[in-house]
Structure 1
Amino acid sequence: MKDVEVKIGQKFPLTIKRLGINGEGIGYFKRKITFVPDALPGEVVLVRVTKVSNRFLEGKMMKVRESVPERVNPPCPVFFLCGGCQLQHMSYDAQLKFKQQIIIDSMEKYAGHVKADKVKPTIGMDKPFRYRSKNQFPVEKSGRKIRAGLYKEQSNTLIDLDECIVQDKRTMETTQSIKAIMSELNIDVAKNVNKEEGVRYIMTRVAEDSGEIQVILVSTTPDLKKADLLSERIMRLPHVTSFGLNINDDRDLLVGEETIILSGDETIHEKIGMTEYDVTAVSAFPINIKQTNVLYEAVVEAAELTGKENVADLFCGAGGSALKLAAHARALKGVDLNEQEIINATYSASANAIDNVTFEHGEPADKLEEWIQDRFYPDVITINPNRSGLTADEIDAINEIKPHRFIYISRNPSTLAKDLAHLTKAFTVDYIQPIDMFPQTTQVEAVVRLSRKRRL
């Protein structure tokens, strides 16, 4: 069939069939797949074409001609401008079903032998707003005024946020005060790190349990002008117990390796369930504390420990789920690539008087082999990789060791499905439990329980 010519700016009605992985509506115009942000499945929308390629079209929704019950009015006034959330225009029940479907679709695409009935309904939140305990907002300067917020979707235009309804109110109030202080002191800002020196981001984190707040300014230089006066003013803010600079002049990174605490404590004190944690400035510690407790409980349930098992926790981070699992295990060893996280995990184990755990810094696949050579044979392996999933070496090591149970904590449905296509040579997928760690966004995490096949 001859390709139908479509021009940028052309308008046409479109029926939306489904949502894409980024939350965009998907329809077909003259059999060509068309992506339309903010459109929902079942709707008929008027679309104006914004991009044309040989394989697909992109369009902007001009009008909803036929709506669906799942559409709601987004409570955030800048939702249609800001790229931080993607699903506020969808009812929360519909969001949870969508996230379950994302995983089902990924399995169908990359691991078709993992059937849809293995994917459980998504566990959501009773109150799916105000859940983020940490923010990191880019800054820019207009005259002396400091602006901070999020970028308009697919642009370099900064939206100066006074409020964000997925952030904890305390972090937003603190950020507003910091913007005012930096404006009064005329603090240097480096929007272009190749030409300027100064602050790049304002980062605030609040501990849900203690209420302590840590403030970190990400700066291109440790020699920030008026740093002493800035530190004094910020430490006067309510509940701020820690202030420092993270040094980062790499435009491709959000944070650098070096953090200098200028005033107060190095950590803030958090608690998940009955376990206490000390959280450092750039720790990859969870930012949705309520759902993290749900996640950890799901991991413990999947592991089915009796107190007799050895557990290996790969990519253990600051020891979050490891310390929960240790209470039900004979012994646990954890490993992570980030040395500071291992220090944090070791400290938290000591603070909670958990003595059957050992945390080590290194490459997970190498450490796993080393532990086995030292006669530590894991009955259960848990792994929590980044969004890129597992390496071939990690998959080979786990398939070769074949623990009784293997728990995979996933942050990316696509890489999860690709990894399961290889892991199921040695394991059977018992179930996949999606958990909504980031309501109003398209992100979804999952706890996957795999059992060793009886015949290999």
Structure 2
Amino acid sequence: MRLEVKQRIPLKIKRMGINGEGIGFYQKTLVFVPGALKGEEVYCQITAVKRNFVEARLLKVNKASKFRVEPACEIYQACGGCQIMHLRYDKQLDFKADLLKQALKKFQPSGYEDYPILETIGMDQPSHYRAKLQFQTRSFKGKVHAGLYAENSHRLIPIQDCLVQDQTTQRIINVVADLLTKHRIPIYDERKIQGIRTVMVRRARQTGQVQLIFVTSCQVNLSKLIQDLVETFPEIVTVALNWNKQKSSDIYGERTDILWGQEAISEAVLDFEFSLSPRAFYQLNPQQTEVLYGEAVKALDLRGDEHLIDAYCGVGTIGFAFARKVQSLRGMDIIPEAIEDAKKNAARMGLTNTHYEAGKAEEIIPKWYQEGYRADALVVDPPRTGLDDKLLETILDFRPEKMVYVSCNVSTLARDLVALSRAYKVEYIQSVDMFPHTARTEAVVKLTRRDSV
């Protein structure tokens, strides 16, 4: 019997998938149901029929999981920014360890069945943890709203009280939306492609300093808005404007100008301080970043005489956690502004054993080796796309003695371990919950070089 769109079916949920959805089988057909939990019996409606599976909308929970909770967020269903807020938090942590197991089973790197996967490290208070806010703006009937797009759409969901967002950044974006309305600033429209399209607000946990980026597709005058804003929020120290005239989904364009205030904000993690320019990458959850970097230091298990390469170094943050524990530290990143920040941060901390270059790791590392530099240890913290294929080849060519892989995507991590496991033994994987109530987790992987390949 072939399932059809709009058909309603009963379903028993066998497990949860990598996006937090419930998964069951109906007459041997795989069914994905967002909002359903493992062990539940539900009634759902088919929304899409694919080649090997179908997608369905949850209509009713006939038998609820004992771990189901009522989400505290009023727009939880509409927003889609969090996927598993309806699951009790301790069970969210179990789910995130299971995410790693699912990904490893799918890609099957060598010996994956025996990889030790440690219990996920969670938060005591898993709310208001996101220190960086990145909301889209749209104008409805003359009033500007800021929020996120509903899942798989360009329909804006206005957000004024996000339970996972830092409360100061949320208050600021609420005022920004009002000021954009008050000063009649042009707002982006997908037909006209003119105006403010995105606002980024980031707050440093350690210093409380705040920076903003307005992303625009055309010339705008923000002088009066900025004056009102900084009078209301004295913690704002930087306001920048980024130019993005493209019709693509990329949030930022290449050019960023400082409109008001200083070039960067100051932040701190573990025992070091650093500066963040507006476009520089830093983890969204500063509290758990302390935990994550601490686990990375533990996993690399340095003696003190190593030469360490920090690929994807950004402004240098994760590398600085190792800097005083190694003989030398070298890093690279494709964003020149981040490298400049890394150099300034290292100088400010009095680190004389560091060296940073802008460029691709797969090009810079071989150049360094040709110049005579030899790395004993490597730390990689790539974007969600994982390691570049050429970088993987480079790592396997030079094979540093030990390595730590910090991952924000279990799928690309498992994929990359297929190659890395040919030369390295996976000692363990430590999951760290950087994103409570979402179907994402961060992981620290301890790898040691095999004696023979």
What TM-score does the superposition give when structure 1 sets the normalisation length? 0.96
Confirm whether residue 83 of structure 1 aligns to residue 67 of structure 2.
Answer: no
* Corresponding residue number in structure 1 for 2:241: 245
Per-residue displacement from partner, 1:220-242 (whole Å, max 9, x unpaired)?
Answer: 12x20x42212212221221111
Confirm whether residue 308 of structure 1 aligns to residue 308 of structure 2.
Answer: no
* Cα pair 1:99 1:122 within 8 Å, conserved: yes
Segments of structure 2 that go 5 or more residues without pairing to the other structure are none
Report how far residue 115 of structure 1 moved.
2.1
Q: 2: distance between equivalents of 1:150 and 1:299?
A: 32
* Cα pair 1:291 1:437 within 8 Å, conserved: yes
* Corresponding residue number in structure 2 for 1:134: 132
Q: 1: distance between equivalents of 2:122 and 2:103?
A: 20
Q: 1: distance between equivalents of 2:427 and 2:114?
A: 12
* Corresponding residue number in structure 2 for 1:122: 120
Q: 1: distance between equivalents of 2:305 and 2:340?
A: 27
Q: After alignment, is 152-161 or 293-302 more displaced?
A: 152-161
* Corresponding residue number in structure 2 for 1:284: 281
* Cα pair 2:201 2:210 within 8 Å, conserved: yes
* Corresponding residue number in structure 2 for 1:372: 369
Report how far residue 117 of structure 1 moved.
4.5
Per-residue displacement from partner, 1:216-265 (whole Å, max 9, x unpaired)?
Answer: 111112x20x4221221222122111112111112321111111111111
* Corresponding residue number in structure 2 for 1:404: 401
Report how far residue 388 of structure 1 moved.
1.5
Q: 2: distance between equivalents of 1:284 and 1:273?
A: 17
Q: After alignment, is 390-399 or 357-366 more displaced?
A: 390-399
Report how far residue 309 of structure 1 moved.
0.7
Report how far residue 442 of structure 1 moved.
0.8
Question: Match of 2:318, as an amino acid?
Answer: S
Q: How many residues align?
A: 450
* Cα pair 1:235 1:242 within 8 Å, conserved: no
Report how far residue 109 of structure 1 moved.
1.5
Report how far residue 77 of structure 1 moved.
0.7
* Cα pair 1:144 1:184 within 8 Å, conserved: no
* Corresponding residue number in structure 1 for 2:230: 235
* Corresponding residue number in structure 2 for 1:110: 107
* Corresponding residue number in structure 1 for 2:43: 46
Question: Match of 1:155, as an amino acid?
Answer: S
* Corresponding residue number in structure 2 for 1:417: 414
Q: 2: distance between equivalents of 1:116 and 1:76?
A: 39
Report how far residue 6 of structure 1 moved.
2.1
Question: Match of 2:179, as an amino acid?
Answer: I
* Cα pair 1:309 1:329 within 8 Å, conserved: yes
Report how far residue 116 of structure 1 moved.
5.0
User: Aligned match of 1:338 in 335, 339, 350?
Assistant: 335
- Structure 1 residue matching 2:85: 3-state secondary structure: coil
Q: 2: distance between equivalents of 1:166 and 1:437?
A: 11
Per-residue displacement from partner, 1:191-235 (whole Å, max 9, x unpaired)?
Answer: 21x5231100121111111111112111112x20x4221221222
Confirm whether residue 350 of structure 1 aligns to residue 340 of structure 2.
Answer: no
User: Aligned match of 1:195 in 185, 192, 196?
Assistant: 192
* Cα pair 2:427 2:446 within 8 Å, conserved: yes
Question: Match of 2:227, as an amino acid?
Answer: E
Q: After alignment, is 33-42 or 373-382 more displaced?
A: 373-382
Confirm whether residue 213 of structure 1 aligns to residue 217 of structure 2.
Answer: no
Question: Match of 2:244, as an amino acid?
Answer: N
Identity %: 34
- Structure 1 residue matching 2:136: 3-state secondary structure: strand
Question: Match of 1:230, as an amino acid?
Answer: L
* Cα pair 1:278 1:344 within 8 Å, conserved: yes
* Cα pair 2:115 2:426 within 8 Å, conserved: no
* Corresponding residue number in structure 1 for 2:385: 388
Q: 1:116 to 1:15 in 2, by over 3 A?
A: farther
| RMSD of equivalent CA atoms | 1.3
- Structure 2 residue matching 1:135: 3-state secondary structure: strand
Confirm whether residue 435 of structure 1 aligns to residue 415 of structure 2.
Answer: no
Q: 2: distance between equivalents of 1:377 and 1:117?
A: 29
* Cα pair 1:134 1:206 within 8 Å, conserved: yes
- Structure 2 residue matching 1:236: 3-state secondary structure: helix
Per-residue displacement from partner, 1:280-302 (whole Å, max 9, x unpaired)?
Answer: 11111112101111111111111
* Cα pair 1:234 1:243 within 8 Å, conserved: no
Q: 2: distance between equivalents of 1:79 and 1:177?
A: 22
Q: 2: distance between equivalents of 1:455 and 1:57?
A: 45
Per-residue displacement from partner, 1:265-319 (whole Å, max 9, x unpaired)?
Answer: 1211111122111111111111210111111111111111121111011111111
* Cα pair 1:434 1:447 within 8 Å, conserved: yes
Q: After alignment, is 19-28 or 107-116 more displaced?
A: 107-116
Q: 1: distance between equivalents of 2:10 and 2:26?
A: 9
Q: 1: distance between equivalents of 2:295 and 2:172?
A: 33
Q: 2: distance between equivalents of 1:216 and 1:455?
A: 50
- Structure 2 residue matching 1:422: 3-state secondary structure: helix
Question: Match of 2:188, as an amino acid?
Answer: A
- Structure 2 residue matching 1:81: 3-state secondary structure: helix
Report how far residue 114 of structure 1 moved.
1.4
User: Aligned match of 2:15 in 18, 32, 43?
Assistant: 18
Per-residue displacement from partner, 1:326-349 (whole Å, max 9, x unpaired)?
Answer: 110011111111111111111111
- Structure 2 residue matching 1:334: 3-state secondary structure: strand
Question: Match of 2:316, as an amino acid?
Answer: G
Q: 1: distance between equivalents of 2:256 and 2:379?
A: 30
Question: Match of 1:90, as an amino acid?
Answer: L
Confirm whether residue 455 of structure 1 aligns to residue 431 of structure 2.
Answer: no
Q: 2: distance between equivalents of 1:270 and 1:54?
A: 49
Q: 2: distance between equivalents of 1:295 and 1:175?
A: 28
Report how far residue 426 of structure 1 moved.
1.1
Per-residue displacement from partner, 1:128-154 (whole Å, max 9, x unpaired)?
Answer: 111101111111112321011112222
Question: Match of 1:228, as an amino acid?
Answer: S
Q: 1: distance between equivalents of 2:417 and 2:401?
A: 16
Question: Match of 2:212, as an amino acid?
Answer: V
Question: Match of 2:231, as an amino acid?
Answer: R
User: Aligned match of 2:66 in 65, 69, 78?
Assistant: 69
* Cα pair 2:161 2:170 within 8 Å, conserved: yes
Per-residue displacement from partner, 1:323-377 (whole Å, max 9, x unpaired)?
Answer: 1111100111111111111111111111111111111111202211122222221
